[in-house]
Chain A
């Protein structure tokens, strides 16, 4: 039905492949191109590469014209393009993509399980399989190394050949792009940017095909603008794209500035550069060309606040920076303080290092050398801080002393109170006893007076008679009573035992 046309139409892009294949047997094509070059260059000095013999390729023409090719046996070694590294112009059908490299198949192969991979990818994957036998990366089906991998249907290869790719030298400047089937020919024969060995006699550097005729450019020169030393080959590129002392035009406002100043120009000056509002640090989201930002700035409250905020920010940072050494100093001081505390109150379990001995005891002076007794100051401490911490310590001790003093006097007061209470109690008891004694005594006295009154009325009368001589008669009994009390000693109170009692109770309540 669809019989292939015997002669490809003149516009068919695959025609060049066909022509290159014509010079050699087999459709293996791609990898054979290099060898065909070698074969072709062996017999004669004239370089003949690929292509139909009737139409010498431009490269061949140029190479034959170049004087160096006459002088020495020139071998142009070009590296065929790696299909894996090609850049495709448009994203391609996912069915044409290898699951290992995620790129369109380079040289596709098929496994029995009907999974497809690039030949190279499959080899890579199998290399890493340690256990000897090879499996399909997708389904882990064991691979029969004698039969597999199998070839793929022709249609798949055709579809791959029709994918449009860029020249692998596109980064060097080549703008060619065409079907993948032609890339080999383009790179090997036509591309001006393919690297070849320098034509100079003793130079082995690669050079672009288009620069081959310029002779060797592999010597060092100084850029006249910035005095950087670099290879002659790179000079032009350096001066157009990199040299800091060459003027370039600003991409925003087209002003001519030196390249070295371009950054500063865009950052601070360029009127057309897109910059944020200076209030951005406070939250303004306005971003526009600098001229517009200038207008905006006048009305933006945040832009007005920004310098103030920035100042605060720097102050904050400064303070934070200051804080750090201070914190370190606090740590040192704390260390020093705890050292001093240790010296002043050596812990009991530290008795060996701080022997509790009588320093006045001469016998001990030798047994414990004075060194450990002398507090060893921390040498990290500056004297001022040592002094400070000592002062702190002294005031601490003073407070402790006051506290102890207060506690002692409190104790004394409490004890005194208790003694006083006891004393009062004892006093009351004594009074009680005294009252009882009086009562007993007065009863005994009354009994005795009653007895003696009945026994010796005469004696009493006699004495009464003597008294009546010197005193009025009305006071006889009184005088007798006075006499009696004088004889009885404590008789003063004898008449009023109850009054005393009440007295003592009154005293009790008063205490």
Chain B
């Protein structure tokens, strides 16, 4: 109920306008939304690519953090970033249980991800990406990341 109410408000706000480079793709229910982001500033790593983000909300949103991952399809790759695994899982403190705050919202998360990409200069995956991608069966919200570098 809480989540529905709040997401309804977020949705109507987003439908009336979103920052440049962020686009709402699908929000048919209050469980799963799809948004596209692209890096607006010139960054050769992300030039000309559009990334798709999937939000999954629990009924306790926004008290509980949403699960946010990049999803891959023919036209949407997983962006290269030292904190984004090649299966789309994002290691970002504000999406973690302890880093999340209910004052965040879908739009602010998108903006955070966008600026996280904009500021990146290394076209690489996190260390141990292959192992992690091969062995991980957990959902993003159950993973306890160690946030080595809070500034990225």
Contacts and interface: CB of A to CB of B under 8 A. Distances in A.
Interface of A: 84-85, 99-103, 121, 124-125, 127-128, 130-131, 137-138, 140
Main SS of the interface on chain A? Answer: loop
Interface stretch (B5-13, B84-92, B127-135, B138-146): B5-13
A99 B102 contact: yes
B64 interface: yes
A100 B64 contact: no
Interface in B21-43: none
A84 B63 contact: no
A244 B142 CA distance: 49
Q: Which of A99, A102, A121, A138 has the most CB of B within 10 A?
A: A102
A124 B97 CA distance: 15
Interface in B85-105: 97-98, 101-103, 105
Given A101-B2, A102-B105, 5 more contacts: A99-B102, A103-B6, A125-B63, A131-B98, A137-B102
Interface residues of B, number: 16
Main SS of the interface on chain B? Answer: loop
A127 B5 contact: no
Nearest to B16: A91
Contact of B62 (A100, A130, A138): A100
B63 A101 contact: no
A103 B5 contact: yes
Interface of B: 2, 5-6, 9-10, 13, 60, 62-64, 97-98, 101-103, 105
Contacts, number: 40
Contact of A85 (B5, B63, B97, B98): B5
Contact of B102 (A84, A100, A103): A100
A137 B2 contact: no
12 contacts: A84-B5, A99-B102, A100-B6, A100-B63, A100-B103, A101-B5, A124-B63, A124-B102, A125-B63, A128-B63, A137-B102, A137-B103
B102 to A, nearest CB: 4
B5 A138 contact: no
A100 B13 CA distance: 15
A140 B2 contact: no
A188 B121 CA distance: 61
Contacts of B13: 102
A88 to B, nearest CB: 10
Q: Which of B6, B9, B98 has the most CB of A within 10 A?
A: B6
Contact of A140 (B5, B64, B101, B102): B101
A103 B103 contact: no
A203 B105 CA distance: 45
A130 B98 CA distance: 9
Contacts of A101: 2, 5-6
- 3 tightest Cβ-Cβ pairs between the two chains A and B: A99-B103, A102-B9, A100-B102
Contacts of A102: 6, 9-10, 13, 105
Contacts of A137: 101-103
